[in-house]
Amino acid sequence: MIGAASGGLITWSLTEKGSTDISTFMTHTNDRDQVIVDRINTNYAHDYSLSPEELARIQPLVKAMAQHTTQIRHQFAADFIATFEENHAKIAAQLDPPHREAYLAATAKKDKELRVMLGIDSAPSDGPK
């Protein structure tokens, strides 16, 4: 879990400078890896004054970092959703039937919205599901 949190933090620091809406980054493109590559290239060119030649030399590493970041983000989102769904089921089991039905209906709606926000049900960056 610490690794997933670290990955999320790294992802945020590399891809979300100044943004407070993570779902915007996670859902505005089908090629998430390329968005990360573009952000890293922009930041490296600006922050380290890299030349176009230097940026070209590091592209294989930047692309690998972007792919790994996307994988970490996806796994973090999947773990996050699974934790919520597991706890919702445990709580529902403790409720009386009428409250259980209302609780399950409400949490199912929220879980679906969370899946969309985190991009867990969207197509991976290498093509459609």
Quick one: pLDDT at residue 5?
A: 63
Quick one: pLDDT at residue 66?
A: 94
* 79, 80, 83, 84: CA torsion to nearest 10: -150
Residues of the chain under the 50 pLDDT cut: 18-20, 123-129
- Which residues are within 8 A (CB) of 116 and not within 5 positions of it... i.e. 6 or more apart? 27, 122
The token duo for 126 is 């290498």
The token duo for 23 is 């779902």
Q: Would you list the DSSP string of 18-41?
A: T---HHHHHHS-S-HHHHHHHHHH
